[in-house]
Amino acid sequence: MPRRSSTHHPGPSQSVRMKAYQLIQGKIASGDLPAGSLLSELALSKELGSSRTPVREAAGQLLAEGLLELSPGGGLVVTQLSRQSIIDLYELREALEVFAVGRAAREGVRPADRQKLESLLDETQTLLKELKTSGKVELNAEQMKRFAVADLGFHAMLIRLASNARILKVVNDTRLMIRIFAIQRSGHRRDELERIHKHHRSILQAVLKGDEDEAKRLLGEHIQASGRERLDEFDLWERENHLAALDRAAHFRM
């Protein structure tokens, strides 16, 4: 008996709901909707050129996925991550990505996939050369966008090699939730970029050699280092907020 095609074409209502979902998700990822900001169904529906219904349905999906949360005053707001949330998300990333890179190393890499991974590493190398030429100590906003694309692409490509679409979806959502907090005040410094490039190069070499244990160890260490940096940023942000609150209180008492 022939297999039925799994191709599914969404209907008009599903298509509009998906556009609403992508619109909200994109605004969260770009920082247009920062953590703690209230979601406006009216504004989004006007931007989308639709009724509020698909926006409300998309928001419900994002609520279930953890990107939005209920506000005490009513409505939905962009999730504000706690310190423990960041720890939990990085632990989830590590568990899934380490599993995926182990499978990728075990099953091997096609020449076309290797070329793609190499090109993503080359982009980071190009950014390093640009920093050296300019004499600047850190990436500017445009360069950081290029780095983010290369970094996300490298990790996503490794997961794709494991041929598990569900892992890729969960990790992408996890990385987006981590980016919601967006505490990075400036671009990566040259030493940080060199370290990330070295990590990625070592991980790729282990995968290409088929060394499953080494690939898993290196990727685990890489994600742990990234998690520590994010927690350091969170702690700094929290201290600055606390000091600012004390200053406001002192000013109010004067």
Instruction: Say what the pLDDT of residue 107 is.
Output: 93
Q: Which two tokens stand for residue 227?
A: 């998690």
Token pair for 16: 């509009």
**Which pair of tokens denotes residue 200?**
């990625």
Question: Backbone phi, then psi, for 86, in 5-degree steps?
Answer: -65, -45
Nearest to 184 by CA among 173, 192, 194, 195: 192
Is the pLDDT at 220 greater than 70? The verdict is yes
DSSP structure class, residue 73? T
pTM of the model: 0.75
- Taking the C-alpha atoms of 154, 157, 162 and 166 in order, what is their torsion angle to the nearest 10 degrees? 100
Place of tokens 């609520």: 63
Task: Quickly tell me which residue has 């991550």 as its tokens.
Answer: 81
Distances (CA, A) of 16 to 61, 106, 125: 14, 41, 40
Domains and CATH numbers, the chain: 13-78 (1.10.10.10), 83-245 (1.20.120.530)
- The mean pLDDT value for 150-172 works out to 91
Residue with more model confidence, 48 or 187: 48
Instruction: Single out the residue of 200, 231, 233, 232 nearest to residue 91, CA to CA.
Output: 231
Where helices occur in 31-110 by DSSP H, the ranges are 41-48, 52-65, 83-107
pLDDT tens digits for range 228-249:
988 988 888 788 877 877 777 7
